[in-house]
Amino acid sequence: MNKSSKNGEKHRGAFAVGAIKKLARRLVRVRTGQGVGAKVKGPHTVSVVGCGEVVVGDGESLLGGMLREGMQINHFCGGNGSCGTCRVEVEDGLSNLARATTAEVVAGAASEPRKRLACQMRINGPVTVRVRM
């Protein structure tokens, strides 16, 4: 192999690594409910009983905001709304939530109005929730 073909292989390898890193960053944003390229708007304050407060933006899930702030909450499915482990109880501010998603209805979280999935909740104003432990 000559020197120029070795350099070409190095360039392709570096390009592949860069592309993989970019995809991994996008996957993390999607799995935390921030969406690809989503900007935090709002902001809206959510009081999490026993944990403190978290600020979430328009279009950002409660799960995404909690993870960004370092709060601990179960989310075995990675925020896809399929496992129900991020279920929270809304204590105040129910009117400040977007309506329940199809994933919440399928997971049974929407059977009681105050039970919601943190990965699916979109906040429109101040809310107080209690995390199911």
Q: What are the sequence ranges of the domains in the chain?
A: 44-131
Question: Sign of the CA dihedral 42, 31, 113, 102?
Answer: positive
44-131 belongs to CATH 3.10.20.30: yes
Residue 44: its pLDDT value, please? 92
Q: Which of 34-38, 62-66, 121-125 has the lowest mean pLDDT?
A: 34-38
Q: Give the pTM.
A: 0.65
Residue 89 half-sphere exposure, CB side, CA atoms within 13 Å?
7
Higher confidence at residue 24 or residue 123? 123
**What's the alpha-carbon Rg for the chain, to the nearest Å?**
19
Is the pLDDT at 30 greater than 60? The verdict is no
Cβ within 8 Å of residue 66, ≥6 positions away: 48, 51, 54, 73, 118
